[in-house]
Amino acid sequence: MVLPGGSRSGVSQLRRGILQFCVLALLRDGEKYAFDLVRELCDAHGLVTSEGTIYPLLSRLRKEGWVNTVWRESDSGPPRRYYTLTATGRGALDEFAAEWGTFRTTVDNLLSSEGSHE
């Protein structure tokens, strides 16, 4: 969607802002390979992403101490880097989850009350 004046919709910016927390949520139950993360995000409605997006994001999450990595041999090619959630990453995810519910409810309320102030 293009807004008046030619600017892009804020939806893509919103996706970018929450993508890191979606990745952390996918890692909550165990380690994953980056391509598996891309596939799972693409399967989720509205979260289409690519390896070109996910690798820099994973690198940033690793530098922030939110994920750890380990290299493993692969049966079908070169070794693969697998990602796991750290305790710090779990804390960040928990904090985001606590805030997300309130944020979502507030936005939903504002959107559903459109026109009620006229």
Q: Give the model confidence (pLDDT) of 7-64 as tens digits.
A: 456 777 777 788 999 999 999 999 999 989 998 988 887 677 778 888 999 999 999 9
CATH class as words, domain 15-111: mainly alpha
- What percent of the chain has a predicted confidence (pLDDT) above 70? 87
Residue linked to tokens 């994920």: 67
Whole-prediction pTM: 0.80
